Amino acid sequence: MRLNKIKLTSMVVLGIMSSSGYAHDPIFGQGPHVLFKDGVEVATEFHSSTKGKQLENELGVELTYGLTGDWAIGGDIPYAIIADNGNLSTGPGDAAIFTKYRFWRRDSKGLQESASVSLKVIGQTGNTSLSPSLGTGTVDNIIGLAYGYESRSWYRWASIRHRQNGINTAGLKRGSMTRVDFVIGHRPNLTSYTEPDMVYMLELNGELGESAKQNGATVANTGGSEWFISPGFMWTVKNFAVRGGVQLPVSSQLNGNQDKSGYRAKLSFEWHL
């Protein structure tokens, strides 16, 4: 009888961790979480970032659908407001479609480990005739690999993503970018599914960029690396979540004369249906 109770408790804990309301992912990195079969996630996200004299704000709408319990697809449409040295551009940015597949999962008492692969294709829907431009003018691809360790009190994530950029009509190929993320998360108070729940996160995010090329020739003052420390949080209640965080630069080794990244902030509201 006691053994059955322990097994039942473990199943309930894992069910809570796997349910829509308690599925957690990093704020700036990537986690292995996917939706349940036929699940729908609707999210609105706000991004703000600075680099030199440029301030970029972006409001996006994202929709995700769970094809199976291990495979999800979706898309996002951003609206950008970019101010650069007195010039202002507003309008739709580059829309994207994405997919994520969880290829490995291991459950044990109060613990779940999993890993996934992802692919994102970013189109060229943003207006490139404005200054500053709202789009890249190319079709870019991002492929990623993510691992997650999720217990009731502690989380650990690691991910790597590589962005391969296309070539625009002027023959310019922006440098490809590799992002590396290491994240820890902690839930200080254990709650039930019906109660508000808070998880605090701390991320280390690295961006390793290659130099751009113009008609095959390397472009000066492009490429290099930057690293960020990023505190964040995720507050959930049932099937609703609020996620937010701030990226703070701690190291910058950019090639030549380039503006360093300033702060980056993100806030999102998510509903699982």
With a CB cutoff of 8 Å and minimum separation 6, the contacts of 28 are 181, 203, 205, 228, 230, 232, 245, 247, 264, 266
Distance CA 20, CA 35 (A): 7
Domain spans in the chain, listed from the N-terminal domain onward: 2-33+87-237+247-262
pLDDT digits (tens, 9 = 90+) for 83-113: 999 999 999 999 999 999 999 999 998 899 9
* Cα gap 238→58, rounded to integer Å: 27
Helix (H, G, I), strand (E, B) or coil at 226: strand
Say if residue 152 is exposed, middle or buried (CB neighbours under 10 Å; 0-12, 13-18, 19+). middle
The string of pLDDT tens digits covering residues 1-40 is: 444 444 444 444 444 444 434 468 999 999 999 999 999 9
Strands 87-92 vs 96-108: parallel, antiparallel or unpaired:
unpaired
Residue 194: the pLDDT is 86
Q: What does the pLDDT look like over 42-55, one tens digit per residue?
A: 999 999 999 999 99
Taking the model in full, what pTM does it have?
0.91
